[in-house]
Amino acid sequence: MLPRAVAVTRCLSLAAVLGSASVQALEFPLPPPGEDVIGQVQVIKAKYEDTFADIATANDLGYLEMVAANPGVDPWLPGEGTEITLPTRFILPPGPREGIVINIAEYRLYYYPKGQNVVYTYPLGIGREGWGSPVTNARITTKVPNPGWTPPKSILAEHAANGDPLPAYVPPGPDNPLGPYKMGLSASGYLIHGSNKKFGIGMRVSHGCFRMYNDNVLELAAMVAVGTSVRIVNEPYKFGRANGKVLLEAHTPLEESGHESVVDKHTAVINALLKDDQFSNLQLDWDMLREVVAAEDGLPVEIAQPGQQAVVHSETQAF
């Protein structure tokens, strides 16, 4: 099996090292049946004035996924000519490919338009610690352009306690934290909406709602209808197949308190493998798997090759 760094490099697009110009919205054809991977990792060269926040906005990426994919690079001053990895290759979340699927562990939304063989994906801001976004099955119940905002009592009290009182009502406009559009969910109290702040998409910043870049929320709102399903999951470890190979994409697990140990993380990966029958007859490269879990960089990496057959047993594989 290849070293992890080489395995990641093989995933780079042919036009890997580019200028830092904006790419098109993240729309991909769905992979064929039995495959799960979309997109290609890209590399750009930073300009002098670039920051991760600027690059993320221009490329429909979130701030933390940029940081994870570029360890050791200063996110506020990468430096002229520095090569920046764009994590634009994704393993689709497990489960049905229909409606909207939100994976809070990767701060990302996937939308599968009915009757079309494509998927759109967008970065999200999600609920911060103490205000976690829910894991649930829901649906779009309302669509409201140019919304006003009436802060709930809990948020009014929090801001008042912090010496930053809020008005009882914020009218539509550039100062409205809901941005140019909101979509209500059947999960009571939760929204998908835009934002009046450029920074924060791809981070834990909200009171549980899902924030999007304003151009993204307008694009999504134009495509989805009231009644669209919204499946919210928390999957820090995603497995998938591409060209007969098995890949793993690892993200830092969300934590409400404390930190998961290495053993906890490895146990979660083994459990995810054991519950998926399609991986039961493969011999995995456990050294590579350890490296991917340790890196938590969100880049899909090959962890098994075709033609290797052995049963995965949690009790015999020691991390």
Q: How far apart are CA 179 and CA 182, in angstroms?
A: 8
Strand 229-233 to 137-145 pairing? antiparallel
CA atoms within 13 A on the CB side of 167: 8
And the tokens for 106? Answer: 């990767």
The one catalytic residue among 11, 193, 207, 266: 193
11 is known as an active-site residue = no
Residue 303, judged by CB atoms within 10 A of its CB (0-12, 13-18, 19+), counts as buried
Kindly give, in sequence order, each residue whose CB lies less than 8 Å from that of residue 260, ignoring residues fewer than 6 positions away.
253, 268
The one catalytic residue among 11, 207, 209, 251: 209
Residue 77, judged by CB atoms within 10 A of its CB (0-12, 13-18, 19+), counts as middle
Cα angle: 155, vertex 121, 254; to 5 degrees: 50
Active site residues: 193, 209
